[in-house]
Structure 1
């Protein structure tokens, strides 16, 4: 049985990077769905740090290509420091988002932690979107479509250098799974940077088991595995509670296999749960599903193993 360190829940109730209001309610929806209790029932030591505080969403149009950049930086700075503190204490931080712009803060902290410890980093980005946009190629200016680009050194200096160094991530440290919505300009950038993307066409062709074997190849005892779980990774037929539904995502069983294979490595050391939007949900159905899948990340198996 895999032994996990103490788990710290960090609520980040903001939707400043998103195109729809509502992701700010995600942390509470996950708590109502029983995330902390479910992990405790699995024998984990869980502490809920409550919610970080930050600026209100001003709901303004883009300025110089970015919406709410000042507010996005403030929230990500707070999350970076909170995540760094948990990692330094030997805890496993779980970001309760909030929109996906927050991955800049959490992953910058993780990358710095890995550099200090001399460990390898592998990021699994479970998402319908590549999130590799820039202000030049997205008309919306929504920063939740830009975090991977920012982490790889493309974007506003306030985010690309959030932790002081840029880039926080090398393209070969990230694997993107479930992708099925990529803008045309974004597609060119993704190819230019050589991102490792397992899109739904590839998943359909070779199956989720082989995809996960490839995505996890090279993960060993010296690897810190960070999972950034955007709930819109899932097919909207089973997970309607997101602001940007993209049909054709992984089924429940495929998603369970993803989580179980990650758990089997025993290397997950930090996690984001983002883009849960209760305003688009029905009776907290999507949050309950997210909790179920996160339990699988921590070793709950739907299979009868001897």
Structure 2
């Protein structure tokens, strides 16, 4: 099996019109290995799939996230298209993990992330496990060397586990911290129940900023906005990563580690809009959908709407 494959255009289906009324009619599928990326002076978005759950398997989680990218695409396809005709959206295909070769997959992904950023595309990468974050960050770093890249993670977990034998979906931000002098990380929605004492101690040592799920609420909006504003002023670029298991399982049952005490959609949209309109957001991803455990594609639909809103907020800023 190849590590990369162009997306099957049949995935992008829905109602048809003569005026691109639906999102699937606006999508152009390209082959990153053989096609030239369309050039445009206006806003460009690239959707890239990270069809890999080897990191989840290594982290003793419930596998199935490798099926997520195409599932999210199917939920995005019938959405109404309200984007300006000048905005280009390309589907850049899927990256796969063969024979448990996670590190090889991550290196390949980093190169493709860098390629897209260098070509002036804003990435929305669909995971896959959260081990994507290590590859994604390194791709941004390759494209933007000698800059400070701030990570904003909406997540129930810090994902700061130390690498004892091999990397996994719980280690990406620890790996990034150990390889970079300028480590700036803000975790929103983290839960005490989902992170042991050692992980909180690691977060303190690495000077990680965080807001627990009990405070990550719409009622606390003004404080949250202030924390994010302060964080953004300290960095050159922002990388936004959204782990669907941070949401309450009422919204996101289809994840490896569901939680009834996760955060709500309202506060997530507030901060996503704030970050998108900051002018510093350079790339984003949505991870940890597990279609095997989803209910009526509820979580996949949430992921699709989040991707849609990211493009909406950026294109209107």
Structural mapping, 1:1-306, within 5 Å: 5-18=43-56, 19-34=61-76, 38=79, 41-43=82-84, 44-57=87-100, 71-115=101-145, 119-136=147-164, 143-153=168-178, 166-167=179-180, 170-171=182-183, 173-180=184-191, 181-203=194-216, 207-217=220-230, 219=232, 223-299=236-312
The separation in 2 between residues aligned to 1:40 and 1:10, in whole angstroms, is: 19
The gaps in structure 2 that reach 5 residues or longer are 1-40
1:129–1:90 Cα change, 3 Å: same
The gaps in structure 1 that reach 5 residues or longer are 58-70, 154-165, 302-306
CA contact (8 A) 1:126 1:228 kept: yes
CA contact (8 A) 2:48 2:91 kept: yes
Secondary structure, counterpart of 1:203 in structure 2? coil
CA contact (8 A) 1:10 1:95 kept: yes
Secondary structure, counterpart of 2:55 in structure 1? coil
The separation in 2 between residues aligned to 1:282 and 1:108, in whole angstroms, is: 34
RMSD of aligned residue pairs (Cα, Å): 2.7
CA contact (8 A) 1:242 1:278 kept: yes
1:5–1:269 Cα change, 3 Å: farther
The separation in 2 between residues aligned to 1:198 and 1:52, in whole angstroms, is: 32
The total of aligned residue pairs comes to 266
CA contact (8 A) 2:150 2:235 kept: no
The separation in 1 between residues aligned to 2:231 and 2:265, in whole angstroms, is: 26
1:73–1:237 Cα change, 3 Å: same
Bigger relative contact order (CA 8 A; separation at least 6): 1
Report the Cα offset of residue 53 of structure 1. 3.3
TM-score by length of 2: 0.76
Secondary structure, counterpart of 1:109 in structure 2? helix
Deviations 1:120-150 (A, max 9, x none): 42211111100000145x9xx7710111001
The separation in 1 between residues aligned to 2:89 and 2:217, in whole angstroms, is: 37
TM-score by length of 1: 0.79
